[in-house]
């Protein structure tokens, strides 16, 4: 899959799976809403109920080990010729405040109508993309 198509598919995706690892290398994967901004992926801790805190494991993981991946994909039960996935790998950081966080929240608000009523109040994870990988069905 070429770079342009991978970028288009990631940009249009509504949900992805964010993979992080803790300091001991134990993996952690969660579904996230996100936005693509150039060579950056941003996602935020929003107001949906998770636990009694906004100090989530994904934030602690990024602070301990900045490598992160985001996977988006399309699966079709009836037509496997439409299968594809794209994974971006990069270096993540947690941004708690300031213009980088505010710009990321603005991107998320623009992409998701649900965030217009209640913008994400928590920290942002900012992933600087260093590698794109993808696959799509190309036939037998």
> Which pLDDT score, from 0 to 100, does residue 91 have?
98
**In angstroms, rounded to a whole number, what is the distance separating the alpha carbons of residues 40 and 32?**
15
Give residue 77's pLDDT.
77
| Domains detected in the chain | 3-136 (2.30.110.10)
pLDDT score for 49: 58
Contacts for 96 with CB less than 8 Å, ≥ 6 apart:
123, 124
**Of 50, 51, 47, 32, residue with least CA distance to 127:** 32
Per-residue confidence (pLDDT) for residue 56, from 0 to 100:
83
* Residues of the chain where predicted confidence (pLDDT) is lower than 50: none
pLDDT at 93: 98
């Amino acid at each position: 899959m070429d770079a342009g198509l991978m970028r288009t598919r990631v940009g249009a995706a509504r949900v992805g799976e964010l993979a992080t690892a803790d300091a001991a290398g134990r993996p952690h994967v969660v579904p996230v809403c996100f936005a693509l901004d150039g060579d950056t992926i941003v996602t935020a801790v929003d107001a949906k109920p998770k636990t009694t805190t906004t100090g989530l494991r994904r934030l602690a993981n990024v602070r301990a080990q900045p490598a992160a991946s985001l996977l988006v994909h399309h699966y079709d039960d009836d037509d496997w010729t439409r299968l594809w996935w794209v994974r971006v790998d990069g270096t993540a950081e947690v941004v708690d405040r300031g213009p980088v966080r505010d710009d990321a929240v603005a991107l998320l608000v623009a992409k998701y109508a649900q965030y217009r009523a209640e913008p994400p109040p928590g920290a942002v994870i900012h992933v600087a993309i260093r590698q794109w990988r993808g696959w799509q069905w190309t036939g037998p």
